[in-house]
Structure 1
């Protein structure tokens, strides 16, 4: 029987307070996180913990639903080449998040694992449930690390991982480089890898990919922490920085901040973050004249080395209460480009407690013209 689960990660600020979660049903899920981490680290850790938690049922196929093409590409496309090169990319630079990737490489051996990409924040019940829990952990760490909601785990899983680490520590384990400043954080503070970058290529999106390997079964890491019933409901908080309430903040300031966020190398290399910002019907006319769909843009960003970009806002106009036209200039690698972006206020995601009046600002159309 195939085990089907969603895995997701969240980081407030990226990097910042971070959470991860995998979800099968209300009685079978787990979440964890760190005081400081990235979205990519959360996405990878969610998959790693799911693999460890189901290791005692390794003979059964495992189907992982994931809204991060970064994770899927890492585990099904790029990792074999990185291993051959001594965990270095084609340009000779070291692979980032390498500690998590090495653990994932070991955990995948002997497993029949299929990955399926799902659109984030599009109402998929398993993806939404995993996202809720990952974001709840990140929010809990942001509030001081109290009452981390970790979940019941997987029935029959082993109480410790292959390193013999106590279950409670493994749930909140800080990724290398994370800082254990929060009250409930464990003492491990190894050096952390950063978000990885890829190179540019044009190819069609794939919705499902599979990774299999030789027999080796890692032991499971597990554990639970009880939620303080006096704490507020962490699953009802709004999504960080991506939901702009027109009643609580200036919508022009909101979309300008989101536009700047899209230009940050760490965000552009994180497809989960970009997918949350781009409208499902996003289109772009690039400075070369090429048109891009949302899926084509996500795939291009996944394979691109991202350079710092300077942004100079030029103008912003509220076309109506749910549409804003933003114009600005960017400079990167000695080139200047005039850009126009059309932002629309989409209805709030059904799981976040958002109303249609609050909604989520998303980028619907973008055009760049080289100066």
Structure 2
């Protein structure tokens, strides 16, 4: 049996509020996004979540056909990825591969599976592509309006949904990690308004030098990280997430740069439907 699904991404402004979605039928689809991202990020995330969702459902032994209107995604996965891996995830010109965190995760998720990609023309009336596009755009629009997007029923859409506490932890953790990566990206660090949406009103930070910062201090100090964009350099797989209370997630990870290696921890809290960063601490581990 072959599972056939359409995957699509959307970004309002590109970059801007971004969404992703995959669609099999009206009972089997999923969507999500970020406050700030690109269309290519959405396209890749849709494919990754489709791979992960079918794996979680125990369907890795079935063929998977992905309908995609992005030549970038298809070429990345089917043509360019083997060469990038041999070069240490570098392009032919020696520059780092863009969206490498998503690329690596897709590569890992495809191992041992029979996955094919088929290009379809976007916005041309293909029913499944249109359905995925509508859901991805709706997710991007929700983030633009500072609302939670409709996530959909997931892969097993025919079963009665379990309580959110039982089914939502993994997807919620992914959403919190996405916000951490967005906050670390040059695009958000260079836009005070976008960054402010991710910070709790009472946010505090302890820097690697031991200095304490308030929310306003952090916003005043934010600037693009020259030569280091965490969305590309810090893989989502490298971030450990722990739900320590119903509305609290702790993220931990390590970064390396000119200042040395730093262990980082971020405390994210939910108020209503919004997750914001309440506290961040950076601890140097070596110089």
TM-score class, shorter-chain normalisation, is: 0.5 to 0.7
Q: CA deviation at 1:176?
A: 7.0
- 2:281 corresponds in structure 1 to none
Distance 1:176 1:109, change over 3 A: farther
Q: CA deviation at 1:183?
A: 7.2
SS of residue paired to 1:57: coil
- 2:156 corresponds in structure 1 to 155
Contact kept, 8 Å, 1:37 with 1:175, in 2: the verdict is: no
How many Å separate the matches in 2 of 1:155 and 1:181? 36
Q: CA deviation at 1:181?
A: 5.3
Contact kept, 8 Å, 2:35 with 2:179, in 1: the verdict is: no
- 1:121 corresponds in structure 2 to 123
Distance 1:172 1:151, change over 3 A: farther
- 1:35 corresponds in structure 2 to 35
SS of residue paired to 2:178: coil
Distance 1:53 1:181, change over 3 A: farther
Contact kept, 8 Å, 1:10 with 1:19, in 2: the verdict is: yes
Contact kept, 8 Å, 1:69 with 1:117, in 2: the verdict is: yes
**2:195 is the alignment partner of 1:191:** no
Contact kept, 8 Å, 1:32 with 1:172, in 2: the verdict is: no
Distance 1:28 1:173, change over 3 A: farther
- 1:6 corresponds in structure 2 to 6
**2:45 is the alignment partner of 1:45:** yes
Number of matched residues?
Answer: 185
Q: CA deviation at 1:177?
A: 4.1
How many Å separate the matches in 1 of 2:199 and 2:173? 10
Q: CA deviation at 1:193?
A: 2.9
How many Å separate the matches in 2 of 1:94 and 1:142? 29
**2:139 is the alignment partner of 1:137:** yes
Which residue of 164, 168, 171 maps to 2:172?
168
Distance 1:176 1:64, change over 3 A: farther
How many Å separate the matches in 1 of 2:103 and 2:173? 20
How many Å separate the matches in 1 of 2:84 and 2:111? 16
Within a 5 Å distance, the mapping from 1:123-272 to structure 2 comes to 123-144=125-146, 146-155=147-156, 166-171=170-175, 173-174=177-178, 177-179=181-183, 182=197, 191-193=230-232
Contact kept, 8 Å, 1:176 with 1:193, in 2: the verdict is: no
Q: CA deviation at 1:191?
A: 2.1
Task: Output the TM-score relative to the length of structure 2.
Answer: 0.60
Runs (5+) with no aligned partner, structure 1: 160-164, 195-371
How many Å separate the matches in 2 of 1:176 and 1:69? 28
How many Å separate the matches in 2 of 1:193 and 1:11? 18
- Give the structure with the larger helix fraction: 2
How many Å separate the matches in 2 of 1:150 and 1:130? 12
Contact kept, 8 Å, 1:33 with 1:172, in 2: the verdict is: no
What is the Cα-based RMSD across aligned positions, in Å? 2.8
Distance 1:88 1:39, change over 3 A: same
How many Å separate the matches in 2 of 1:108 and 1:29? 19
Task: Output the TM-score relative to the length of structure 1.
Answer: 0.46
Contact kept, 8 Å, 1:48 with 1:104, in 2: the verdict is: yes
Distance 1:25 1:135, change over 3 A: same
Contact kept, 8 Å, 2:9 with 2:18, in 1: the verdict is: yes
- Give the structure with the larger strand fraction: 2
Q: CA deviation at 1:62?
A: 0.3
Which residue of 71, 74, 77 maps to 1:75?
77
Tell me which moved more, 107-116 or 146-155: 146-155
Runs (5+) with no aligned partner, structure 2: 163-168, 184-194, 204-228, 234-287
- 1:277 corresponds in structure 2 to none
